[in-house]
Amino acid sequence: MAGVLVVTGAGRGIGAAIAELGGARGWKVCVNYSRAKDKAEAVARKIRDGGGSAIAVQADVGKEADIVRLFQEVDKAFGPVTALVNNAGIDLPARDTADVELEGLHKIFAVNVFGPFLCAREAIRRMSTKRGGKGGVIVNISSRASGHYKLVGEMPYTASKGALDAFTMGLANEVAPDGIRVACIRPGLIMTEIFDDKDKLMERAKTAVPLGRVGDPMEIATAAIWLCSGEASYVTGMIMDVGGGR
């Protein structure tokens, strides 16, 4: 049964696809964004035009105060969250580890690790059956990069996603008695706005991906909404690779 869904970083790409599919499946959706207000509002409007319920809420998931406010606004609009998709994430310009600066590490871990941790904290406070909640689901969007250790120049991103994988497994064990399921999706090469050269990406996929193509954001969304649904009621502590075999 659909409930209240919060999707972080939902103004575009994978996050937008998850929010739109959730809205189409009957979820009341919070479309979170940091800077892309127009795009997030467009996603929320599309959901409402289709007969669903949605709001767009600005919050930088790298900032604790913003995260607390995000969930308070959802409480006011729809009631307590019942499904959280931690999708928001950033990368840094590629560089060797010898050239990485602490400021960049703080920035990427604030959004990719601390953000999901604090969003999960706020969700658990509302979902936990031990705290008077009705249970719920947390889905973390990681990356196949966490398992590809040959990505030169991407160690901060790889490390942050590896931390998210570990967080998923530990949290799933911790909150299972609270009626909360936790899972993780690791997308592979997905056709999103972050890729400027689409043709080059397609050529890369032909040799790097066993299925020989780039994935579509909606293919990640389908997996995420399934994990949030009752159809996945016996699934927790799982890391699902959605990368065409890569």
pLDDT at residue number 246: 83
Cα(172)–Cα(68) distance, rounded to whole angstroms? 22
Of 86-90, 142-146, 223-227, 234-238, where does mean pLDDT reach its minimum?
Answer: 142-146
Query: Confidence class of residue 27 from pLDDT cuts 50, 70 and 90?
Result: very high
pLDDT at residue number 118: 98
pLDDT at residue number 199: 67
- Catalogue all structural domains in the chain, each as residue range(s) with its CATH number: 4-242 (3.40.50.720)
Within a 10 A sphere around the Cβ of 230, how many other Cβ atoms? Answer: 9
Query: Confidence class of residue 153 from pLDDT cuts 50, 70 and 90?
Result: confident
Cα(154)–Cα(105) distance, rounded to whole angstroms? 11
- Known catalytic residues are 157
Of 8-22, 27-41, 74-88, 198-212, where does mean pLDDT reach its minimum?
Answer: 198-212
pLDDT at residue number 100: 95
Q: Do the Cβ atoms of 211 and 188 come closer than 8 Å?
A: no
Q: Which two tokens stand for residue 173?
A: 């064990």
Q: Do the Cβ atoms of 160 and 145 come closer than 8 Å?
A: no
| Digit-coded pLDDT (tens) for 92-112 | 999 999 999 999 999 999 999
Residues 6+ apart with CB under 8 A from 240: 183, 184, 185, 186, 223, 227
Sign for the pseudo-dihedral over CA of 71, 20, 191, 216 = positive
- Identify which of 104, 11, 127 has the alpha carbon closest to the alpha carbon of residue 60: 11
Cα(33)–Cα(37) distance, rounded to whole angstroms? 7
β-sheet with 83-86: strand ranges across: 53-58, 28-33, 4-7, 83-86, 136-141, 180-187, 238-242
**Angle made by CA atoms 22, 124, 235, in degrees to the nearest 5:** 60
pLDDT at residue number 148: 66
Cα(201)–Cα(114) distance, rounded to whole angstroms? 30
Query: Confidence class of residue 1 from pLDDT cuts 50, 70 and 90?
Result: low
Please tell me the pTM assigned to this model. 0.95
Q: What is the mean pLDDT of residues 28-43?
A: 97
Query: Confidence class of residue 149 from pLDDT cuts 50, 70 and 90?
Result: low
pLDDT at residue number 180: 98
Region of 179 on the Ramachandran plot (φ > 0 left; ψ -120 to 50 alpha; else beta): left
Residues 6+ apart with CB under 8 A from 196: none
Please check the confidence at residue 125 and state whether its pLDDT lies above 90: yes
Q: What is the mean pLDDT of residues 123-137?
A: 98
pLDDT at residue number 218: 98
Q: Is 108 exposed, middle or buried (0-12, 13-18, 19+ CB in 10 A)?
A: buried
pLDDT at residue number 198: 58
Strands (E) across the chain are located at 4-7, 28-33, 53-58, 83-86, 136-141, 180-187, 238-242
205 vs 91: which has the higher pLDDT: 91
Strand pairing category for 180-187 and 83-86: unpaired
| Averaged pLDDT of the chain | 94
pLDDT at residue number 102: 97
| Digit-coded pLDDT (tens) for 157-210 | 999 999 999 999 999 999 999 999 999 999 998 988 765 555 676 677 778 899
pLDDT at residue number 206: 72
Secondary structure percentages of the chain, helix, strand, coil, to 5:
50, 15, 35
